[in-house]
Amino acid sequence: MPTPHGKTWVEVSRSALAQNAATLARAIGQKVKLMAVVKSNAYGHGINETVRALSKAHVDWFGVDALREAKIIRETGSKKPVLILGYTPLAALKDAMRSGFSLTVYNHETVTALGRIASAKHPAKIHLKLETGTSRQGLLAKDIVSFAKTLKKNPHVVVEGMSTHYANIEDTTDHAYAMSQLSRFNAMVRAFGVAGVTAKEKHTACSAAALLYPQTHFTMVRAGIALYGLWPSKETHVSVENSGKKMTLRPALAWKTIVAQVKILPKGSSVSYGLTEKLTRDSKVAVIPVGYWDGFDRGLSSIGHALVRGHRAKILGRVCMNMCVIDATDVPGIRIEDEVTLIGRSGKEVITTEDLAGATGTINYEIVTRINPLIPRVLVA
Ligand SMILES: *Cc1c(COP(=O)(O)O)cnc(C)c1O
């Protein structure tokens, strides 16, 4: 097969993204909005490509980490509302507000700065982030009254939403802590109400909460990982299955490269930096032009695999910056420029994002988000 995308590329399935969005929309029901979280280059899937692929899907909002990403969404032509989930520096507020994006806010300083630049014609739309136990971004319950005062002094700063984020919903099948956060959220929303501050949108659920607990849905859920066809964790998958729900997610991403060289080396040859691995038999090895710079973790040295012609080939020795070497002894007919799969299927073999996460001691989220954004993303059926 010819390789029009250079020596490595990421294939993203439109139909998988659309199907996962439909699965999520069905799970939350028609009355709840779906925010597609496309931060971190759409979890490595390519923000531009993902937003385009979702243009006809049941997606109501987009969520990003930063202004820069929000602007990429507009460049695709999408007019859907965008919420910036992360911190927006004070110096960037004017740009963000003028561009019409909604901002996550939890500091008095941000409200005051927005108040100075907002007007009746250009109101600032904010979502208050409430601290309920994750101890990350969010305003404390004890500050509600003073925050409400700051808001009253800045009438063109409009509270469009209130939100929180769970600390311990993916990592466990015991959701008592998440439920305590949920009740704290409800109490804080009520306290804001007493102080005269209400919001149209209320949202707390990431993928795991969206799939497990309808009481976390409120008016909208913020789904990232599930949209890409990946389970937030084994625990979430087990919890959903135990609840009797039938739900299939389809991984949307495959990562490919090609063979750069094939050669025969004698038993005893050392392969790659540090002489960490010696061939235990006369071997056919293949060089593949992907390394840790590309996001192929150095922790995969000597333990990872690649797929060629439907066969599994082990990584030999250290993963280098821009390349690594695989054992192709058992890959019949392997040739230069054969397609190589790093994540995805080849014949009957498959390497999942979870396989790579397990091998390197991390989570599927990190594996996909760290695929170098400069590698081309190609939309496929
Ligand atoms: C990243 C993020 C999400 C999405 O989480 P998933 O587990 O990927 O669904 C939701 N909300 C916030 C605030 C986030 O930062």
Does residue 279 sit in the same domain as residue 190? no
One-letter amino acid identity for 51? V
Residue 156 and residue 114: Cα distance in Å, rounded? Answer: 8
Given the residues 153, 234, 245, 273, select the one marked as catalytic.
273
Q: Is residue 174 part of a domain?
A: yes
**Ligand 1 pocket test, candidate residues 24, 37, 171, most atoms within 8 A of CB:** 37
Q: Is residue 143 part of a domain?
A: yes
Which secondary structure element, helix H or strand E, spans residue 186, and what is its range? helix 176-194
- Cα of 327 to ligand 1 centre, how many Å? 38
pLDDT, residue 174, reads 84
pLDDT, residue 291, reads 98
Q: By residue range, what is the domain housing residue 76?
A: 14-238
Q: What is the pTM (predicted TM-score) of this model?
A: 0.97
pLDDT, residue 2, reads 47
Angle (nearest 5°) at CA 83 between 94 and 11: 120
Does residue 270 sit in the same domain as residue 340? yes
Closest by CA to 300, choosing from 329, 338, 261, 343, is: 343
Q: Is residue 361 part of a domain?
A: no
Residue 337 and residue 2: Cα distance in Å, rounded? Answer: 8
pLDDT, residue 3, reads 61
Query: How many domains does the structure of the chain reveal?
Result: 2
Q: Compute mean pLDDT per 10 residues along the chain, 381 residues long, and list them.
A: 78 98 96 98 98 96 98 97 98 97 98 97 97 96 98 98 94 88 98 98 97 96 98 94 91 98 98 97 98 98 98 98 98 97 98 98 98 97 96
pLDDT, residue 175, reads 86
Q: Which two tokens stand for residue 84?
A: 């910036």
CATH number, position 227? 3.20.20.10
CATH number, position 313? 2.40.37.10
**Ligand 1 pocket test, candidate residues 85, 213, 231, 369, most atoms within 8 A of CB:** 85
Does residue 226 sit in the same domain as residue 281? no
Question: End-to-end CA distance of the chain, in Å?
Answer: 17
Residues in contact with 257: Cβ distance below 8 Å, sequence separation at least 6, in sequence order: 7, 8, 9, 288, 289, 290, 306, 339, 340, 342
What's the per-residue H, E or C state across 225-293?
HHHHCCCCCHHHHHHHHHCCCCCCCCCCEEEEEECCEEEEECCCCEECHHHCEECCCCEEEEEECCCHH
Q: Is residue 359 part of a domain?
A: no
Distance from the Cα of residue 165 to its chain's centroid: 15
CB 273 within 8 A of CB 247: no
Q: Which two tokens stand for residue 56?
A: 């006809």
